[in-house]
A and B are shown apart, each in its own frame.
Chain A
Amino acid sequence: MSEHENVQGLGDPSAHEERVRSALLGDSSVTEQQLNQLKDGCAACRAQLEEHAQVQAFLNSGGELERDSILREALERDQFPGDEQVESALRNLLETGPPPAAGDHGQRFRLLRGLMAAAALIVALIATGTLEKKNPARPAATHLGPAQKGALHAEVSGRFEPRGPVESYGPIVWDAKLPSFDCVFICNIYADQDGARGKVLLWAALDEGRWELAQEQRTALPDRIRVEVHVENGSGERVGLPFSLSLSRSNP
């Protein structure tokens, strides 16, 4: 087996292996720069990473082939007994209205939702004994809350970006895992300026820890905002506690 070469910041072979493992598993703790550094500096790791990618490509392709074959069979059959019930069930669902929505401004529903979110947060904070007296002069801190089973923050590894003053509002990114498949992240953006504080400006339902705002949305946001993320389960109920951060823009 080839020996690992010396790469800055990676003293022993186990550190190389750990980084290769993280890259294979898609762990977000390894940045692209660190990965390139490893590939450039260590031939053994580069070979290993390339072989991993090759194995994964073959497996992905095998999976695609199988899914295509099943999809083709499903579509070719055209009409299974009961397909008309599928259509009518879906129509009925869609007629009940759209699911939790990413949105624009000021709808009554949204405001009601914001109020409910605030009330739920207060109840949750009282229940867990973490409600604290806020000093209005102090900027709001990121609130992760105490660990509890099923809570969103149980798997938050700390990253929730961007923070503090920024030049412009980039993508909002957080490291957290959804507790189950039917859950979604609900990300709310509130106004954080006098006169409008607490008003929900935008919100989205997402199944990954990233929200990339459109250019026009970023431009329309005020210079001080608060971002809050929580998880809702398949019944629309909150799971765990939310976490939030405050942002200000220095270069609108």
Chain B
Amino acid sequence: MEPSVSETKTHREDLDLVRSVLANDPIAVEAFVLRMRCVGSILKVRNARFGRPLDSAAMEDLVQDTLIVIWRKLRTYAGRGPLEAWAYRISSYELFSALRAARRLPRTESEFDLVYAAQIPAPEDSPEASHTGNRLMRHLRGREAQIVRLKHYENLSFEEIAKLLEVAPSTAKTHYYRAVEKLRAILTPLLSELGTS
């Protein structure tokens, strides 16, 4: 989908902000710090939704580590999306890395289902619950669900997913291909079911 004019403009403004931060513009630095305050909040909300697997000390470390990665990667921000979305993606990866380091990242199919099931579910009548993407996700289990979720919901690359799950990138891709093929087979019946309901 082509970005709308306003989105493009917003992202360009974000890119300009980052460039000014890199040029040590104190006003831009202040604006950037305020924008990135969401990093701590994102991590806390996500940890809460997962049932608080990380305690406050681990969360403090995680926030610090994430900020360092954001700082190091700042120059790679290309303005393809809003600054917060870019920070969200970095936060996701760091959160999953912290869960893995704490041995809380699900390693088996059933553990994965349990961890995601522990998320506070969206209300039945919410847009999230009825969204076709989420309905499709319910047809996947185990490794396939894990990889599709990390790819589309956490917005991670195959290389990042492979690293997190300690598998080869080719393995992650194979699971992903099989999963999308499965969803392709059920998409038409699902859409007609939604259309008639």
Contact = CB atoms under 8 A, between A and B. Distances in A.
Interface string B54-83: 000000100110011111111110000000
B36 A184 contact: no
Interface string A189-218: 000000000000000111100000000000
A97 B131 CA distance: 44
A82 B70 CA distance: 18
A65 B129 CA distance: 10
Contact of B85 (A25, A55, A67): A67
Given A71-B42, A73-B45, A55 B187 contact: yes
B112 interface: no
A59 B137 CA distance: 8
B159 interface: yes
Interface stretch (A35-43, A99-107, A165-173, A241-249): A99-107
B24 A61 contact: no
Given A59-B133, A61-B131, A182 B69 contact: yes
A61 B68 contact: no
A46 interface: no
Interface in B1-43: 1, 21-24, 29, 32-34, 36-42
Contacts, number: 170
A85 B40 CA distance: 9
Interface residues of B, number: 66
Contact of A62 (B29, B39, B132): B132
Chain A's interface size range is: 35 or more
B143 interface: no
A60 B133 contact: yes
A128 B92 CA distance: 37
Given A52-B180, A74-B41, A181-B93, A82 B60 contact: yes
Interface string A49-65: 00110111111111101
- Interface of B, secondary structure class, is helix
Contact of B133 (A63, A178, A181): A63
A21 interface: yes
Contacts of B32: 90, 94
Contact of B134 (A62, A73, A101, A206): A62
B133 A58 contact: yes
Contact of B74 (A66, A99, A177): A99
Nearest to A87: B33
Nearest to B177: A21
Given A65-B131, A77-B45, A90 B67 contact: yes
Shortest beta-carbon contacts, A-B, top 6? A62-B133, A74-B41, A59-B152, A86-B40, A63-B153, A207-B76
Interface of B: 1, 21-24, 29, 32-34, 36-42, 44-46, 49, 60, 63-64, 67-76, 84-85, 88, 93, 97, 122, 127-128, 131-134, 136-137, 148, 151-155, 158-160, 163, 169, 173, 176-177, 180, 183-184, 187-188
Interface of A: 21, 24-25, 48, 51-52, 54-63, 65-67, 69-71, 73-75, 77, 80, 82-83, 85-87, 89-91, 93-94, 97-102, 177-178, 180-182, 184, 204-207, 234
11 contacts: A59-B137, A63-B152, A70-B88, A71-B42, A74-B42, A83-B37, A87-B37, A89-B64, A94-B21, A98-B75, A180-B163
